[in-house]
A and B are shown apart, each in its own frame.
Chain A
Amino acid sequence: MHFVQAFLNGLLVGGVYALIASGMALIFGVMRLVNFAHGAFLMLGTYLSYYGWVLLGLNPYLFFPLWGVVLFVFAVGIYRVLVRRVMGANDFLQILLTEGISLALVGLAQLVFGADYRQINLPIANRITGFGSLHFSVGYILSFAVSLLLVIALTQFLARTEMGRAIRAVAQNRTVAPLMGIRVERVSAITFGLGIACAGIAGALLLPIFWTNPTVGAPYTLKSFVIVVLGGMGSVQGAALGGLLLGVAEQFTAYTWADRYAEVVNFVIFLLVLLFRPQGLFGGKA
């Protein structure tokens, strides 16, 4: 029974991971950009939802689309001013740039918000529900449900809309896409914005069940790398499944071994996948 509980708790935590990693997979798949600033944008999402709640009384579970839009616009701006310049440049420059953006955002957050930890007290997030001997926090269930819906919406958007097709076209071939009348610059900006919005919304959804401070994002950048590799580099569906898998792996580690080894297990999985199945656990497109 406890195994069932650990498994389900893992899925609940993994739902948010899936959303974060989907954003990173999208950016990597389409732009071939390794985004070291992913966690920093997630952190911005937590602060948006923190101040939204504390100053304006906006419930994160209702207003997360607003925070997503704010981050989308911000990210498109960052793309136009900075990221655009390293598109197609070598990996090293891209890593330096995104890591630089990350340092700048975290440093600014420390200046503006202070380095102390913050949490909000959202009564619904602290409520417990369950059946039989299984118990769940309503906050985790809400964060999971919203995350999963967004990931599904994202895959549907990519599969069915005109813009989605354009994004996939750019992912397949950056050189040929413009010959087919696709505005690669615009598609890239929108892709970056969408990927960052995923991270930001995940941050907004994490806040009611967690806490925040300017460095809260760093572990999620690392987790996203692991998940993106698990799911097959650049595949959004793969990243979503990888996120759920990592959540379950963490909870099982804590349950069967010790909480403090959860990160060790993460990176062992990461290394094993790279060694034996570099195309990712779920096939994944090249």
Chain B
Amino acid sequence: MRRFVLALAVVALAGCQQSKPGRIGVITALTGSQQAFGQAHDRGYEIALEEINAAGGVLGKPLEIVKYDDQSKADIAAQGVAKLVDQDKVSALIGSYSSESTKAIVPLVARRGVPLLMPTATADNVLDNTQGWSFRLCSGATDYANSMVSFWRDAGMPKSVAIVYENTNFGQANGAAMKKAATDAHIPIATEESYTAKSPSYTAMLEKVKEKNPDAIYFASYLLDATSLMHQSRQVDLNPRYFTAAGTGFSTPEFPTADKGAGKDAEYTFSVTQWMPESKWPGSAEFAKKFQAKYGSVPAYHAVQAYTALKVMAEAVKKAGKWDATAIRDALKAIDLPETTFGPVKFDARGQNLHPVLVTQVQKGQYQIVHPKTEATADPILPTPKWSGR
């Protein structure tokens, strides 16, 4: 009997939706295969938190963030919503890192009535079924593909494109987006290949791509697979005019390094990106400098997205004037911040922030912006030299 009463009490307590003021929940991939990106997130959040609290916190109190590690897995991310909202009583959520994990939490936050800001998920289906509770800070897969095609328009249209993507939500979405963008631009699709990111060897797949002799390749890959793909492209002597990619693995500071990425094999690859330390948005250079001083490395765009996401959320709470989930959601809907480190932030009716995309190329181990022309820091090196001539 006593146990029964206790159980009832636990259930009753868990049912309490009263949030504790001052808390924002953060879900990201602190461990697992996407740990490099989760770590970038984490560092971005930490810098933002420091700055917010140094400036007096939110609504007169220091801000507190509660972190939850989704271990790079969607099912664990889904459990995080319950943990953060029911146990830790957060009033708003930011996360997660991957499209796969983010897709899993979008319906859950809508059911609980808690606003969610998505810093990095590029698959466009994360904006389905948000019921007005989710907002996306970054550009999506369609923007990525369109920007790459726009770069090709300037640099010379490829005669054909091969699309190679990892087989989860992120890769599938970006693969599909490129297929549509290329078809709209009348570029023939040479082949479409999807792979599991844990395969020990991609050589057979790359041989198949090579047989189709594509003029351009568009990868949608995380870091470890991006590294293997480039090493093994050299192995099978795959020589398209353009190696291009949908950001992510191909646009991390680790990727051009020999210890944690593809090293020299990363050279000449093009990738879309959402932000660079050289971006002209206010505070970009300062953020990069602060990040470098604190962590000893150049920040990836994922870090600045997390940084900006927390700032935007804090701003929304201030606008709402109270720690109330519904009020914060309404404030997010109306928010208009023309000058953040990540560029202007304003959400459309679907909850999408209209964010411009840059195209970079690895040149001598450094990322250079090569498109659009107004932002460019270098000219693209084309065509990509053959492996035998490098």
Contact = CB atoms under 8 A, between A and B. Distances in A.
Given A6-B204, A121-B258, A135-B237, A262 B35 contact: no
A115 interface: yes
Interface in A110-129: 110, 114-117, 119, 121, 126, 128
B207 A5 contact: yes
9 contacts: A115-B35, A136-B235, A206-B200, A209-B200, A251-B201, A253-B204, A254-B202, A258-B193, A262-B199
Nearest to A115: B31
Interface string A1-30: 010011001100100000000000000000
B235 A135 contact: yes
B31 A2 contact: no
B224 A6 contact: no
A9 B31 contact: no
B167 interface: yes
Interface residues of B, number: 36
B197 to A, nearest CB: 10
A121 B259 contact: yes
Contacts of A258: 193-195, 205
Nearest to A8: B203
A210 B227 CA distance: 10
Contact of B260 (A119, A210, A259, A262): A119
Contact of B196 (A9, A211, A251, A259): A259
A126 B231 contact: yes
Contacts, number: 91
Given A6-B203, A254-B204, 20 more contacts: A2-B208, A13-B201, A115-B32, A115-B35, A119-B224, A126-B231, A135-B235, A135-B236, A137-B235, A210-B200, A211-B224, A213-B33, A251-B201, A251-B204, A254-B199, A255-B207, A258-B195, A260-B196, A262-B196, A262-B199
Interface string B239-261: 00000000000000000001110
A137 B218 CA distance: 23
A55 to B, nearest CB: 14
Contacts of B31: 110, 114-116
Given A117-B224, A135-B236, A137-B232, A260 B195 contact: yes
Interface of B: 31-33, 35-36, 71, 167, 193-196, 198-205, 207-208, 210-211, 224, 227, 231-232, 234-237, 258-260, 263, 265
A18 to B, nearest CB: 14
A260 B199 CA distance: 8
Contacts of A36: none
A128 B235 contact: yes
A115 B31 CA distance: 5
A252 interface: yes
Contacts of A10: 204
Contacts of A251: 201, 203-204
Contact of A259 (B32, B33, B204, B235): B204
Given A119-B227, A260-B196, A140 B201 contact: yes
B180 to A, nearest CB: 20
A255 B211 CA distance: 11
Contact of A13 (B71, B200, B224): B200
A6 B167 CA distance: 21
Instruction: Tell me which of B199, B201, B210, B234 has the highest count of chain A C-beta atoms within 10 A of its own C-beta.
Output: B201
A253 B196 CA distance: 13
Interface string A248-286: 000111110011101100000000000000000000000
Contacts of B234: 128
A259 B195 contact: yes
A219 interface: yes
Contact of B33 (A6, A117, A260): A117
A253 B203 CA distance: 12
Contacts of B211: 2
Nearest to B207: A2
Contact of B231 (A114, A136, A137, A253): A137
A11 to B, nearest CB: 11
A260 B207 contact: no
A120 to B, nearest CB: 8
A6 B207 contact: yes
Contacts of B259: 121
Contacts of A137: 203, 231-232, 235
Contacts of B224: 117, 119, 211
Nearest to A252: B204
A121 B203 CA distance: 19
Contacts of B198: 219
A9 B232 CA distance: 11
B54 to A, nearest CB: 30
B231 A9 contact: no
Contacts of B260: 119
Nearest to A216: B198
A259 B35 contact: no
Given A115-B31, A137-B235, A9 B167 contact: no
